[in-house]
Amino acid sequence: MANKVTDEQARVTFDCSKCPAFCCAVYERVAVTKRDVNRLARYFDVSVETATRRYTKKFEGERVLRRTEDHLFGEACMFLNRETRGCTIYHGRPNVCREYPDRTRCAYYDLYRFEQRQQGNKDVLPLVQITFHEVKKAEVVGPDRREKIWEWEPES
């Protein structure tokens, strides 16, 4: 079990330039705040109303970035360059994109490295689809520390 992935593992430096823009494609929504929309408006030199209308939409009660067709994942963020797989608005991108990954590791990088090792091929590029389910978060106090626990809610 020496290779078990845990949150306590040290961060591995990863190279996003080899990534097919996993974070821009597999998540069905990139939620944006008013501050993010203001940043988009400044970046494109348009009004907040125009930025809201052109670049965002309502999705399940949230304001999210629009998505467009993508040849690898079906659809992806509208600001993803489909050839270079880079962000076309890097300096104007939303805060959630600026902070990703918000944990110690990128989930896609873990999968990427695992597949490379399993297949013995450093050029392998796994493409995945993630289905999200609601999770229930609880905080439990153990004998030596607090621990956060996430439980999958059953699908309805």
* Residue 142 within any structural domain of the chain: no
**What are the strands, taking DSSP E only, across the chain?**
56-59, 62-65, 67-70, 74-77, 135-141, 146-152
Using CA atoms, how far apart are residues 105 and 54, in angstroms rounded to an integer?
Answer: 32
Residue 5 placed within a domain: no
Domain around 107? 19-119
Count of domains observed in the chain: 1
Give residue 104's pLDDT.
Answer: 60
The verdict on residue 12 lying in a domain is no
Is 137 part of a structural domain of the chain?
Answer: no
DSSP 9: S
Q: Whole-prediction pTM value?
A: 0.64
Q: What angle do CA 78, 15, 126 make, to 5 degrees?
A: 70
- Higher-pLDDT residue of 124 and 46 is 46
Strands 74-77 and 67-70: antiparallel
| Whether the Cβ atoms of residue 127 and residue 61 lie closer than 8 Å to each other | no
pLDDT band of residue 113 (cuts 50, 70, 90) is confident
Residue 44 lies in a domain: yes
